[in-house]
Amino acid sequence: MSKTADQQQAAAAGQKVTVQDDFWGRYIRLVQDTVIPYQYEALHDRVPEAEPSHAIANFEIAAGRREGEFKGWVFQDSDVAKWLEAVGYSLSIKRDPELERQADEMIDLVGEAQYEDGYLNTYFTLKEPGKRWTNLMDCHELYCAGHFIEAAVAYYEATGKDKLLGIVCRFVDHIETVFGPEEGKLKGYDGHQEIELALVKLYRLTGEERYLKLSSFFIDQRGQEPNFLVQEWEQRGRVTHWTGTATDSIDPGYNQAHIPVREQSVALGHSVRAVYMYTAMADLALLTGDAGLREACERLWKNTTEKQMYITGGIGSTHHGEAFTFDYDLPNDTVYAETCASIGLIFFAKRMLELVPDAKYADVMERALYNNVIGSMAQDGKHYFYVNPLEVWPQACSCNPGKHHVKSERQGWFGCACCPPNVARLLTSLNQYIYTVHGDTLHTNLYIGSQLNVTLGGTEVALVQESQYPWKGEVTLKVSPAEAAEFGIALRIPSWSRGMEITVNGGLVSDSVSEEQGYAVIRRLWSAGDVIRVSMPMEAYRVYAHPNLRADAQKTAIQRGPLVYCLESADNSEPLSSISLNEAGTLTETYDESLLGGAVVVEGTGFRVAQGGWTGGLYSREKAPLEAVKVTAVPYYLWGNRGSGEMKVWIPE
């Protein structure tokens, strides 16, 4: 494999980024102070109000420390791994000896549950010994391995401790004896992609090419004929893990294994699996220079974000298989938009930004982050949405079975607890998503207050970003090269912004600025103390959807900066469906510091069916009179924090 200049650059850039931001600081502290400790208790089944996880218990039993049987999902181990990964990132931000002790103990436990030959999985240790690698389609063995690899890399990078790294490397050694192109090895791959991107992280840390090769093997093998998942299913008597009985057919498209990945153009199947795979594909495209992979990534990105993405950055239109459906099918009330899928979309976006400096990837990253992802977590850090709807009628969630998957209030730790630890690991690693480097140019993708140390064109550069995002569009970047040097600073022009202005040291910089793929790129000789000021007018505006997106036809959504807004019963009288926005009305904005930690509230004028104006029965020839009303919208990410009620993002206009 030959590396391109870009790849070397990316590898060499060695960014060190620390988040210092009011808005995100609060979230990160919430994760550190509340979420990680709460999840630690939950993993130990010590949260009375939550369904027992049994994840640690499984390891204790597998390690021989206690008696008992396996409980939980087949992928229960991954919750432990994701917690360890989040702890790694958290310790990178702030050392915490007690937390580190908890993690070290957990790593000891994991190590005790590992087989001599390197194999590690409590389900197959306790519940189906002897059945290793017989149901890759359903059983998440490599998926769990992947999460432990990610955890090991994060924990090593934070602490320098290599015990978990040793555990996963031995596990990968074992996996290499089972899977590969060589005669007698399985030509398979996991039903749930994850190890592919994890192996890339392991390669980046260790420089061991064989990890990259194994990742490529899994990616390349996927969807080849004869189809591994079909063969495997036939070999085990067509039995599915989920019911223990035979099934008539399987759909490899659900696992994105219906055709080779390089031939895929349409996002389909389970949405988390899809974006985890696309992430690994983009990683491999960057590291191997594989044009076919890169083109597939671009096609899949385009389809996902231009045809199948909610305005909140949610993906996955149906709970049946937690899956994509088809182009422009984005129902607001039967939606899935799983939290993990949006997190995976952010992973994918970040890899695309490393591959191609195009602001469209950062636009989507921002959309998913500020809306679907943080909207999934309650302000207490202990309650989560798994499904993130854009329209909710609470009674329908309980009384219409087609909406039972949608909740109007965030739930405690789930039986299937994938989302909460995924939120934790994303927020604690947010520093990884702000900047990318291409050549001697630094790309600012997110306007998040932060300190950066990076080498650009051979010069060490310190950069401090100050931002009042998402409430105000004023951003300051102080650039401090070790010595005066020429390099580029690329500032993303958000797709939602109009009239963004940039000054350097107080002066407009039109001469040295060019617009390149959605960035304002300033190339000049920088000296210590140079200050860039970015001003993005942040007024509320209306958004419309493509006419083919039937669910949003004749409706508008309100956005302000990156934030999508919604109506809630807490501010508007039910039924919300009676409300329409005045097309010509203005939107006014007020910062309400008492609202859930402080937020800008947007008010507009509109109409609603006059209270008592309807005199008919269920149907009538008489239209009810309308009355003028004030329409109050709050940021989507705050919805559902003031009791159960109706909510909607798209409003008739």
Q: Which residues bind its own copies (CB under 8 A)?
A: 305-307, 309, 311, 317-321, 323, 325-326, 329, 331, 334, 393, 395-396, 399-402, 496, 498, 541-550, 553-554, 556-557, 575, 577-578, 580, 609, 614, 616-624, 652
**CB-CB contact of 373 with 384 (8 Å):** no
Residue 583 catalytic?
Answer: no
Known catalytic residue: 322?
Answer: yes
Judge contact between 413 and 396, C-beta under 8 A.
no
**Shortest Å distance, C-beta 132 to its own copies:** 28
For residue 332, the minimal CB distance to its own copies (Å) is: 11
Structure tokens at 550: 């039937």
**What's the DSSP call for residue 35?**
I
Residues 271, 316: Cα–Cα separation, whole Å = 6
Alpha helices, DSSP H, located in 131-268: 136-139, 141-159, 163-178, 195-206, 209-221, 228-235
Q: Between 39 and 569, whose beta carbon lies closer to its own copies?
A: 569
Radius of gyration of the chain (CA): 25
User: Cα–Cα distances in Å, from 286 out to 318, 405, 610?
Assistant: 32, 38, 59
CA distance 422 to 114: 24
Annotated active-site residue in 100, 232, 322, 466: 322
Min dist. Cβ of residue 495 to its own copies (A): 9
- CA 542 to the chain's CA centroid: 25
Helix-helix angle 419-428:22-30, to 10 degrees: 130
Type of residue at 440: D
d(CA 6, CA 355): 8
Q: In the bound complex, what is the minimum distance in angstroms from residue 579's beta carbon to its own copies?
A: 9
Distance CA 63, CA 86 (A): 23
Q: Least Å distance between CB 620 and its own copies?
A: 6
> Which of 66/621 has CB closer to its own copies?
621
Nearer to its own copies, 101 or 404 (CB): 404
Phi/psi of residue 248, nearest 5 degrees: -70, -35
What span, in angstroms and rounded, lies between the C-alpha atoms of 353 and 356? 5
Q: How many other CB atoms are found less than 10 A from the CB of residue 247?
A: 12
Q: Where are the alpha helices (DSSP H) in 384-487?
A: 394-399, 419-428
Angle (nearest 5°) at CA 303 between 445 and 363 = 15
Least spacing, CB of residue 274 vs its own copies, in Å: 15
Catalytic residue from among 169, 297, 397, 418: 418
1 contacts 209 by C-beta, under 8 angstroms:
yes
Rank residues 133 and 544 by Cβ distance to its own copies and give the closer one: 544
Which one, 389 or 421, has the nearer CB to its own copies?
Answer: 389
Smaller CB distance to its own copies: residue 177 or 586? 586
Q: How far is the CB of 395 from its own copies (least distance, A)?
A: 6
Least distance between its own copies and beta carbon 316 (Å): 12
In single-letter form, the type of residue at position 445 comes to: N
* 62 φ/ψ angles, rounded to the nearest 5 degrees: -65, -30
Which residue, 34 or 582, is less far from its own copies as judged by CB?
582
Closer Cβ to its own copies, 305 or 465, answer by number: 305
CA–CA gap between residue 327 and residue 325 (Å, rounded) = 7
φ, ψ of residue 270 to 5 degrees: the values are -60, 125
Q: Give the β-pairing of 450-456 and 530-535.
A: unpaired
Compute the least distance from the CB of residue 574 to its own copies, in Å: 9
Q: Which residue has the tokens 């990410």?
A: 637
For residue 376, give both structure tokens.
């999934």
**Which of 395/505 has CB closer to its own copies?**
395
Q: Provide the residue type at 364 as one letter.
A: V
Residue 458 DSSP code: T
Shortest CB 276 distance to its own copies, Å: 22
Please list the residues that pair with 392 across neighbouring strands: 647
Nearer to its own copies, 188 or 394 (CB): 394
One-letter-per-residue 3-state SS of 298-365: HHHHHHHHHHCECCCCCECCECCCCECCCCCCCCCCCCCCCHHHHHHHHHHHHHHHHHCCCHHHHHHH
Minimum CB distance to its own copies smaller for 160 or for 617: 617
Tell the smallest beta-carbon distance from residue 524 to its own copies (Å): 32
DSSP code at position 226: S
Q: Which residues touch 536 (CB under 8 Å, ≥6 apart)? A: 473, 474, 475, 494, 497, 500, 561
Residues annotated catalytic, as ranges: 322, 418
